[in-house]
């Protein structure tokens, strides 16, 4: 089974998720989504696997959210564009399997898809 982790190496939760995956000894594809953000289509596919709307994976504690987005209403398409252009706003880590995905915080949530 191949698993993809959307990883931010500067985030301790993301590092913990990656370490948890490594202990499971499965085939892992690591994607630094800050350096290589998902495309809108890719993010839509991830959201389907997460069974979430775009606004449900927004990191509301980020400064950009607080200064520019808080209190505003956006459509799902607008959120997808915002998230792809500002990947720091995406919850992390996101672990994607063949049919499902999870926001792996805490890391043991990964067990839900493997």
Sign of CA dihedral 91, 86, 60, 55: negative
Q: Greatest CA span in the chain, whole angstroms?
A: 43
Of the residues 11, 16, 30, 34, only one is catalytic, namely 11
Could you tell me whether strands 94-96 and 2-7 are parallel, antiparallel, or unpaired per DSSP bridges? Answer: antiparallel
The DSSP code sequence of 26-82 is -EEEEEETTTSPPPHHHHHHHHHHHT--GGGGB-TTSHHIIIIITT----HHHHHHH
Residue 84 falls in the annotated catalytic set: no
Catalytic residues: 11
């Amino acid at each position: 089974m191949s698993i993809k982790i959307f990883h931010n190496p500067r985030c301790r939760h993301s590092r913990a998720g990656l370490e948890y995956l490594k202990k499971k000894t499965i085939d892992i594809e690591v994607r630094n989504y800050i350096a290589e953000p998902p495309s809108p289509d890719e993010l839509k596919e991830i959201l389907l696997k997460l069974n979430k709307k775009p606004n449900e994976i927004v990191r509301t504690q980020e400064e950009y959210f607080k200064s520019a987005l808080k209190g505003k209403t956006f459509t799902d398409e607008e959120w997808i564009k915002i998230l792809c252009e500002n990947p720091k706003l995406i919850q992390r880590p996101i672990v994607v399997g063949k049919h499902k995905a999870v926001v792996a915080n805490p890391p043991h949530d990964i067990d839900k898809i493997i």
